[in-house]
A and B are shown apart, each in its own frame.
Chain A
Amino acid sequence: MFSETIELRGHIIDSLILPKVLDQILTHGANFKIGEIKIGKKRADQSFARIEVSAETSEALDELILRLRQHGAEVDKRADAQIAKAPADGVFPRDFYVTTNQQTFVRFDGKEIEVRPAMMNSAIVVDRKRRSARAVKFFDVSKGDEIVVGHQGVRVVPVQRSTSRTDLFQFINAIIDADEPKSAIIRELAGELQRARAAKGKVAVVAGPAIVRTGAGQHLVRLIESRYVDRLFAGNAFAAYDVERALFGTSLGMSSELAFARGGHENLMRAVNVIREAGGIAAAAQKKILTGGIMHACVRHNVDIVLTGSIRDEGPIPGVTTDAIEAQKVMREKLADVTHALLLATIQHSLAVATMLAPTVKTVCVDIDPSAVERAVEHQPLQSIGLVTDVEPFLRELADCVTEAESSSGAKK
């Protein structure tokens, strides 16, 4: 999106110039945001409005602004962003601008350019020759790179609330507490997942070990089998528990019948060893060593598995990215085209993913801990739903809803 700020002055209310300009912006397929408006108090007093106009392309914006000038719109002459050179590899200049995950523009040579990709907690590097700007992490900056410093010439455009009120996420946009009913929302979510699949959206599931431990794995498998999951983000532990469950019927030594099974933690260690011996999850599945569980379903249905490590990991299972910086890069890359994210029962991993999501990604966070839900959804203020609940009933109901809808639509055919 490209944008420009215009100002209108004069008897813009009595002359209906303000509504005319706003209507023209919309009829040209552009958008506006009124930044400031001062209405004259007395009859002869003039009014003032500052309006941010945004359009899909720079050409469309220029053409629209030219039209609006006829009606008295004046383009706000704003200052360019300030730039300083990175003093060393991996070091930003002091006062570097710290990004949010919102759509961001920087202005230089009098024109605004969009920062792509937008990325939270980064700095902005500008390439003047190419007229481009991108958000970078510490490891991505080289000595001499031109970095935006201060706030001048930087503009952040938060995601706008939809006016149609048809979008579930913007309509509900809340956290559903433990003691509140959830069935209606879960049904709506099932509908949203179906729409996402039909529209070739990309659904990411961020899965915590509790899914396996509570016995909710089978429901996640149903979602995977129905092709509602495109990417699975998890830690080493999640994969290890799932494999243990598949191979020995326990997770961390506990069976789904809530009885401590023979073997205890031993099962986990043996499971990890089996996968290491097989050369990884996919190899274990191909060799029919691994014949069930979530990981197996992912391999069978071509779900991208993104596994990252942590200090307490056993193994790791082959394919787990253990270098933290490398893991960030891989996750960011795999999240770039995601349209929907289900953050399920894993606070640390959910928070890591949430900070990497574009603000437009529709996000559902499910956790039994209310504060975890709150923290995970705060980055997507208009695009998120949080549910405070045990993940097992959530996944069971969601899987029931989608499979029910599948079979009824199948019956119609």
Chain B
Amino acid sequence: MRELLLCPPDYYGIEYEINPWMSRARGAEAALAQKQWNELHATLSKLDCKIHLIAPQRGLPDMVFTANAGLTIGRKFIPSNFRHKERAGEAPHFARWMEEHGYQVAWLPDDLYFEGEGDALFGGDVLFCGYKFRSDIQSHRAVADMLGCLAVSVELVDPRFYHLDTCFCPLPDGAAVWFPAAFDEYGQRAIREHVADLIDVLPEEAMHFSCNAVVLERDIVLPEGAPKLVAILQDRGYRCHELPMSEFIKAGGACKCLVMFMPQRESAL
């Protein structure tokens, strides 16, 4: 059974602007955000997984996006080195929590920015890693060294899709959902060379964070607003759970950003 880490949105809000989605003027509606998060929690609870909760911290509104806490493989947890100081305070809380739960915490060198599962997703036996906006490409090399796996680094070029998990979502059957325009030409080619079966998301659906989906075997939990993608996935035999995510999209996150797999993989090989 898959285990997931979530963080309740008690202190969630748009308190700073570190991506093009965020606007303090617009803000997120706290009650609605709570309702949407509860719905995500309830949906996941009914699926084949075990949910862990980390205590939210005042002053760390984005801690709700646990996917950016780090990358967990087997019993090893590689904490993130956040690029923005606004989020850097989250790292010790996550590291302590993981350590308390029996994970071996392996820090990257301080000078390498890395934003965890947000920028590192396994597809088959390849760890796809996004770089430029948040993670440094050098961090991929260090992660690949730690895990002994093949890391394919792809450059993200659209600031709206600043993390890999906003534009790329591997599926258990070896296919992947992606929004190609979020990658540079070389990144697109590298992904095509390693993933034979790619499902393109239309630009209007990508804008609803459709790639930001939690995949639990045949169940896919994704934000509402992507009828075409949902039809394709259903054709392939997936059960799609569409959820309203408006309040989190205002901060540049959705279903997958709110969840970290622990672990994402039992082993890197």
Contacts and interface: CB of A to CB of B under 8 A. Distances in A.
Interface of A: 9-11, 14-17, 19-20, 43-44, 46, 70-72, 74
B58 to A, nearest CB: 35
Contacts of B187: 16
Interface in B138-183: 138, 140-141, 144-145, 148-155
Contact of B137 (A10, A44, A46): A10
A20 to B, nearest CB: 4
Contacts of B154: 15
24 contacts: A10-B137, A10-B140, A10-B141, A10-B144, A10-B151, A10-B153, A11-B144, A11-B150, A11-B152, A14-B190, A14-B193, A15-B151, A15-B152, A15-B190, A16-B189, A43-B150, A44-B144, A44-B148, A44-B149, A44-B150, A44-B269, A46-B144, A72-B136, A72-B138
Given A70-B132, A72-B138, A72-B141, A11 B153 contact: yes
B97 interface: no
A124 B143 CA distance: 46
A15 to B, nearest CB: 4
Contacts, number: 59
Contact of B141 (A9, A16, A43): A9
Contacts of A70: 132, 137
Chain A at the B interface: SS class: loop
Please give me the 3 A-B residue pairs with the lowest Cβ-Cβ distance, nearest first.
Answer: A10-B141, A72-B137, A16-B186
Contacts of B141: 9-11, 46, 72
A17 B153 CA distance: 8
Nearest to B190: A16
B83 to A, nearest CB: 13
Contacts of B150: 11, 14, 43-44
Given A10-B140, A71-B137, A71-B155, 9 more contacts: A11-B144, A14-B193, A14-B194, A15-B153, A15-B186, A16-B189, A44-B149, A72-B141, A74-B138
Interface residues on B, range: 20 to 34
Contacts of B186: 15-17, 19-20
Contacts of A44: 144, 148-150, 269
B130 to A, nearest CB: 11
Contacts of A16: 186-187, 189-190, 193
Nearest to A43: B150
Residue of A9, A11, A20, A46 with most partner-chain B CB within 10 A: A11
A100 to B, nearest CB: 37
A311 to B, nearest CB: 66
Nearest to A72: B137
Interface in B81-124: none
Contacts of A9: 141
A9 B136 CA distance: 13
A9 B140 CA distance: 10
Nearest to A16: B186
A76 to B, nearest CB: 15
A185 B155 CA distance: 50
Residue of A15, A17, A43, A72 with most partner-chain B CB within 10 A: A15
Contacts of A19: 186
Given A16-B189, A17-B186, A70-B132, A11 B137 contact: no
Nearest to B136: A72
A72 B135 CA distance: 11
Contact of A72 (B153, B189, B269): B153
Given A72-B137, A72-B138, A72-B141, A14 B149 contact: no
A9 B142 CA distance: 10
A19 to B, nearest CB: 7
Contacts of A74: 138
Nearest to A71: B137
Residue of A16, A17, A19, A74 with most partner-chain B CB within 10 A: A16
B188 to A, nearest CB: 10
Contacts of B136: 72
Contacts of B153: 10-11, 15, 17, 72
A16 B183 CA distance: 13
Contacts of B137: 10, 17, 70-72
A11 B145 CA distance: 10
A50 B238 CA distance: 46
A275 B230 CA distance: 99
A72 B148 CA distance: 19
Residue of B144, B154, B186 with most partner-chain A CB within 10 A: B186
Contacts of A71: 137, 155
Contacts of A17: 137, 153, 186
A103 to B, nearest CB: 31
Contacts of B149: 44
Contacts of A43: 125, 150
A46 B145 CA distance: 9
Nearest to A19: B186
A10 B154 CA distance: 13
Nearest to B141: A10
Residue of B136, B155, B193 with most partner-chain A CB within 10 A: B155
B160 to A, nearest CB: 19
